[in-house]
Amino acid sequence: MADYKLMKGNEAIAEAAIRCGCDAYFGYPITPQSEVLETLMARMPWEETGMVVLQAESEVAAINMVYGGAGCGKKVMTSSSSPGISLKQEGITYIAGAELPCLIVNVVRGGPGLGTIQPAQSDYFQAVKGGGHGDYKLIVLAPASVQEMYDFVDLGFELAFKYRNPAMILSDGVIGQMMEKVQLGPYKPRMTDEEIIAKYGSWATTGKTPDRPRNIITSLDLEASRQEQFNLKLQKKYREIEEKEVRFEKIACDDAEYLFVAYGSSSRICQKAVDLAREKGIKVGLLRPITLFPYPTKAIQEMIGQLKGILTVEMSAGQMVEDVRLAVEGKVKVEHYGRMGGMIPSPNDVVAALEEKIIKG
Amino acid sequence: MDLKDIIKEENLVYSKTKLLTDNIMHYCPGCTHGVVHKVVAEVIDEMNIQEKSIGVAPVGCAVLAYNYIDIDWHEAAHGRAPAVATAISRLYPNKYVFTYQGDGDLASIGTAEIMHACNRGENIVVIFINNGIYGMTGGQMAPTSLLDMPTSTTPYGRKVELNGYPLKITELIAQLPGTCYVTRQAGHTPAAVRKLKKAIRKAFENVGQKKGTSFIEVVSTCNSGWKLSPVKANEWMVEHMFPYYPLGDLKDE
Ligand SMILES: Cc1ncc(C[n+]2csc(CCOP(=O)(O)OP(=O)(O)O)c2C)c(N)n1
Ligand code: SF4
């Protein structure tokens, strides 16, 4: 029989980490995601699976612990919310530069600065366009339910290891805090040291043995031409990810003349807005990007012929809308509707915005 | 003629440890980094723990330490080596994890990380090179720069009103219950190097015995940053650095 449980989004992250064989979690408290660390501490996974859980002294330390653990070829993760993720950017660019896999969860709150503890989606640029210095990309997954918070931990690790690249779950305070039924997966065993050496011994710092040269985890290369070659290699990897790993969901799109594009909790609101608009006779569908990098650019382009207009709905001043505009290249009208600072749009607001900005305008 | 023809096996009293690679070190001639590298490599070799040692390199002149000692290495961001080492040591409790950090790295940008790793008693060795200056970036003031010491950012000498006091970070660290062994050594004479080696060996042995954090400050020279010849730099260190940073054990439990 399937194992179901009612849980918060943040708790689902913690439970999934334990069950998918995560080796270590390093974090620092910040609302609205502290339940991840709290749940892990209460569950004592070190007794059950041997997973290391540590409350670091800061987000800076936490992400550098992730960097160290990831260098050992281990499954290591952290979670935080917006101001904490800003602090983690230093470590994230080092991890991307050293091409290490790891999982970072951002349960976004309103900013800028200390902002509010209420939900927002205003860290989109930071998540998908870089965030730290240098040319790098994260693999970014955007869950829209507590079930997906659970499922994307395993998926995030899988993609991170496949491409030796940091992955991020970009969630927000709504999904982190709401409770839903979750189907729990079976326990995956943690990899043994021998398995890690067999699988990642080629690069992980597991202790130098006579049969191989020393392994060095670094992002430093003082020689400009080699550094350029390395950057070209990174860019090639990102193009491959764009080709193979795009994920999205389409709802009521077959006959749609208008389209909402929204991710995460905004997509939940848009789902209701689709129903309300269709009651009024407006043929609107919803495209929900699940991966924000790689972005479902082609999926949007394929719909251009049938559309009279697109409304992106995000809890921000309009960040993802830029990627939609890039995708449609001016062939269809694209507008943005959103609330900021922790305010959440209602489905009626979204329908009104569609009528105002797209249908009438 | 080969070296082996001159020095017979039975006459050999000293040779380069095999753990030091043949790479040409980028350090300035006379720099203490080279001495400390040699000592660390010898200790790891003599303890036969090459397969169990993982070093965490800093940002600073020793950023390329991984080119010289033949073990697995992890390069950390400026000041963050203790956090990186924390994770490695927690995930591999039976390995010998150590950080190698300068004073800009450890006592400035990375103060929080070193304090908390030591306070948690992470089972690691910390090797702290205190040359009182930022070598790599061209001789700027470090937290450990002495009063009146000229640096490129204190061209008229370090002044309390402008820059505060030189930081005795090792004294602070000795207060922390997580540390088991805190010592201040140097490497300017053969006798000092022997003592330094003993200290580093003890620190690595402490890791084997899971005693907590061992912290070794090495009062060092940066002849380039100090703008002195290697010989003069050693003299300056003895005359000015040692009175403020006295050598010896601060804690041995
Ligand atoms: C975040 C960050 N800030 C500044 C620097 C520039 N930087 C490189 S080395 C260094 C000083 C290192 O001095 P120290 O730790 O004393 O080592 P030394 O070079 O003297 O051996 C600085 C400021 C950097 N690399 N990263
Ligand atoms: S700049 Fe100073 S610390 Fe750096 S290698 Fe030269 S002497 Fe050594």
Each residue's pLDDT expressed in tens, for chain B with a length of 253 residues: 677 778 888 888 888 899 999 999 999 999 999 999 999 999 999 999 999 999 999 999 999 999 999 999 999 999 999 999 999 999 999 999 999 999 999 999 999 999 999 999 999 999 999 999 999 999 999 999 999 999 999 999 999 999 999 999 999 999 999 999 999 999 999 999 999 999 999 999 999 999 999 999 999 999 999 999 999 999 999 999 999 999 999 999 9
Average pLDDT for chain A: 97
Task: Quote the pLDDT of residue A199.
Answer: 79
Q: Are residues A37 and A142 in the same domain?
A: yes
Distance from CA of B64 to the nearest CA of A (A): 9
Q: Are residues A132 and A253 in the same domain?
A: no
Whether B18 maps to a domain, the answer reads no
CB B130 near ligand 2, within 6 Å: no
CB B212 near ligand 2, within 6 Å: no
Whether A232 maps to a domain, the answer reads no
Of chain A, the end-to-end C-alpha distance in Å amounts to 53
In total, the C-beta contacts within 8 angstroms joining chain A to chain B are 125
Q: Are residues A93 and A182 in the same domain?
A: yes
SS3 B222: coil
DSSP state of B153: T
The answer, yes or no, to whether residue A1 has pLDDT greater than 70, is no
Whole-angstrom Cα distance, residue B38 to residue B34?
6
Q: How confident is the model at residue A198 (pLDDT cuts 50, 70, 90)?
A: confident
Whether B96 maps to a domain, the answer reads yes
Ligand 1 site, CB within 6 A: B 59-62, 78, 102-105, 129, 131, 133-137, 142, 222
Residue A95: closest CA among B53, B70, B104, B74:
B74
B26 near A CB under 8 A: no
Return the CATH number at A127.
3.40.50.970
Whether B15 maps to a domain, the answer reads no
B77 vs A217: CB contact, 8 Å cut-off? no
Q: Are residues A11 and A88 in the same domain?
A: yes
Q: Are residues A32 and A96 in the same domain?
A: yes
Among B74, B86, B95, whose Cβ lies nearest the Cβ of A71? B74
Whether A115 maps to a domain, the answer reads yes
* B52, B153, B226, B228, B238 from B232: Cα distances, Å: 39, 22, 10, 6, 10
Whether B17 maps to a domain, the answer reads no
Distance from CA of A57 to the nearest CA of B (A): 7
Q: Are residues A69 and A172 in the same domain?
A: yes
Q: Whole domain around residue A254: which residue ranges?
A: 248-359
Q: Whole domain around residue B200: which residue ranges?
A: 23-252
Task: Quote the pLDDT of residue B13.
Answer: 85
Percent of chain A with pLDDT over 90: 96
Whether A332 maps to a domain, the answer reads yes
A208 vs B84: CB contact, 8 Å cut-off? no
Nearest bound ligand to the CA of residue B132: 1
Other Cβ atoms less than 10 A from the Cβ of A307: the count is 21
| pLDDT tens per residue across span A182-194 | 999 999 999 888 8
Q: Are residues A164 and A290 in the same domain?
A: no
Residue in this structure with the two tokens 């009062």, named with its chain if needed: B219
Q: Are residues A286 and A188 in the same domain?
A: no
Single residue among A162, A178, A193 that ends a domain in this structure:
A193
Return the CATH number at B41.
3.40.50.970
**Computed from CA positions of residues B12, B15, B17, B21, in that sequence, does the dihedral angle turn out positive or negative?**
negative
Single residue among A170, A193, A216 that ends a domain in this structure:
A193
B91 vs A54: CB contact, 8 Å cut-off? no
| pLDDT tens per residue across span A205-247 | 999 999 999 999 999 999 999 999 999 999 999 999 999 999 9
Q: Are residues A252 and A185 in the same domain?
A: no
Q: Are residues A21 and A159 in the same domain?
A: yes
Task: Quote the pLDDT of residue B247.
Answer: 98
Whether A208 maps to a domain, the answer reads no
Whether A167 maps to a domain, the answer reads yes
Q: How many domains does chain B have?
A: 1
Distance from CA of B94 to the nearest CA of A (A): 11
